[in-house]
Chains A and B, each alone.
Chain A
Amino acid sequence: DGGITQSPKYLFRKEGQNVTLSCEQNLNHDAMYWYRQDPGQGLRLIYYSQIVNDFQKGDIAEGYSVSREKKESFPLTVTSAQKNPTAFYLCASSGQGLGAYGYTFGSGTRLTVV
């Protein structure tokens, strides 16, 4: 079945450590996205990529970095510069088209920094 896989589901890290969240899709989608969600809040866009080897900052990119070396993969690194990294992280992908395609979401990674 086609879909998006995020791993791991739960992740614990010590403060000051960088951590990389995985996102893989087999939908042949061109665009991929990373969102952050805090308790009781909506989703906020961190980074997005519409094509391989290209990506743009979203609304809250500070303290995060991404790469898009392959169409299928869009890993997110939470760096030590992110002041409040504990959150629920969601990855999504979409096909090309003028809003004609839906967005598919992964099941999320819950990151806890202690």
Chain B
Amino acid sequence: DAKTTQPPSMDCAEGRAANLPCNHSTISGNEYVYWYRQIHSQGPQYIIHGLKNNETNEMASLIITEDRKSSTLILPHATLRDTAVYYCIVIPTGKLIFGQGTTLQVKP
């Protein structure tokens, strides 16, 4: 299974874009990149996923590099409620493996 690397923590000013990076240099052709977030003491919440192309939904945008070795999750206008741990996960078939994630602190 491909491994992901994320910075342990990041700060972002409220109303600004939050850009969360993720490295997945060993990703293989059939593996998707998924992003989840976990607000304290709750179950992880799905944000977005992609295979090759950039993706956008009502919550965020996902930018995947052409070689697929890294990606960036973009929260376009961060709010205080976006403060959470963000997990970047590479998923083949089978089990879902979480790393340590990035703790995003949105500050007023």
Residues of A near any B CB (own CB < 8 A): 4, 33, 35, 41-45, 48, 50, 56, 58, 88, 90, 92, 94, 98-100, 102-108, 110
Contact = CB atoms under 8 A, between A and B. Distances in A.
Interface residues of B, number: 25
Contacts, number: 61
B95 A99 contact: no
Interface string B69-100: 00000000000000000010001111111111
A99 B96 CA distance: 10
B46 A45 contact: no
B88 to A, nearest CB: 11
Given A103-B96, A106-B43, A107-B43, 10 more contacts: A42-B99, A48-B94, A56-B95, A92-B43, A98-B92, A99-B32, A102-B34, A102-B49, A105-B44, A108-B41
Nearest to B31: A99
Given A42-B87, A42-B100, A43-B98, A99 B43 contact: no
Contacts of B49: 99, 102
A9 B99 CA distance: 24
A102 B46 contact: yes
A110 to B, nearest CB: 7
Interface in B15-48: 30-32, 34, 36, 41-46
